[in-house]
């Protein structure tokens, strides 16, 4: 049995995780950090920082899906990862992972030059804009573009009612337009990923992990 403490249980993602866990035979949502096997956090940055302190106190690994951290908070998370295993990712769906891998492959195998537009659409209640995933995608392109084939990157954000998440990356020039797209049709893809990682992170040593460490 895997005992999970969810920080942000009353939120949309917390509710999705709870529903997914209830359908599983080997996962229990607990209200005790001290007695849990791992913590999943989908909350606000201030709450995340508080729960990280509790995780360090009780030596518990944590899976963080919260977005909107400032520089100092990210430094504190990195510092805490020297004490406990931490997964920090703004999107835990396998689909986004494979999207990133496809984009990296495209950048590595092309010798033309392109402009790039990253578009993201989410529900109106999402606080941060652009999304954490859009920021990750921009950073991924900048890091993976070793041949400098991308001249510029523009990030566009929209907030529309009842949209779980759409991320689209378009590379274009005077000859071609190539688009990579992922749409979350259900929050379950995020809760499935978070629970899978929570189970796997219980065997990890202290470090700051990414989804690649679990989905590769």
**Which active-site residues does the annotation give?**
122, 126
Q: CB burial class (10 A; 0-12, 13-18, 19+) of residue 4? A: buried
Alpha-carbon distance of 146 to 126, in angstroms, equals: 33
Alpha-carbon distance of 95 to 34, in angstroms, equals: 33
Phi and psi (nearest 5°) for 77? -65, -45
Cβ-Cβ contacts under 8 Å for 57 (sequence gap 6 or more): none
Phi and psi (nearest 5°) for 205? -90, 165
């Amino acid at each position: 049995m895997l005992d999970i403490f969810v920080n942000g249980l009353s939120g949309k993602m917390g509710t999705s995780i709870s529903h997914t866990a209830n359908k599983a035979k080997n996962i229990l949502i607990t209200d005790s950090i001290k007695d849990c096997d791992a913590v999943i956090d989908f909350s606000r940055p201030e709450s995340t920082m508080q729960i990280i302190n509790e995780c360090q106190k009780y030596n518990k690994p944590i899976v963080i899906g919260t977005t909107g951290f400032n520089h100092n908070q990210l430094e504190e998370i990195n510092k805490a990862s020297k004490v406990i295993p931490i997964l920090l990712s703004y999107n835990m769906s396998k689909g986004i992972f494979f999207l990133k891998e496809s984009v990296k492959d495209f950048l590595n195998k092309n010798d033309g030059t392109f402009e790039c537009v990253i578009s993201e659409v989410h529900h109106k209640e999402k606080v941060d804009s652009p999304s954490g995933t859009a920021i990750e995608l921009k950073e991924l392109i900048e890091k993976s573009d070793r041949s400098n084939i991308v001249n510029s990157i523009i990030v566009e954000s929209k907030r529309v009612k009842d949209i779980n998440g759409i991320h689209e990356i378009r590379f274009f020039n005077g000859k071609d337009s190539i688009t990579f797209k992922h749409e979350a049709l259900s929050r379950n893809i995020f809760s499935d990923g978070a629970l899978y990682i929570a189970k796997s992170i219980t065997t990890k040593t202290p470090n700051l992990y990414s989804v690649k460490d679990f989905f590769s």
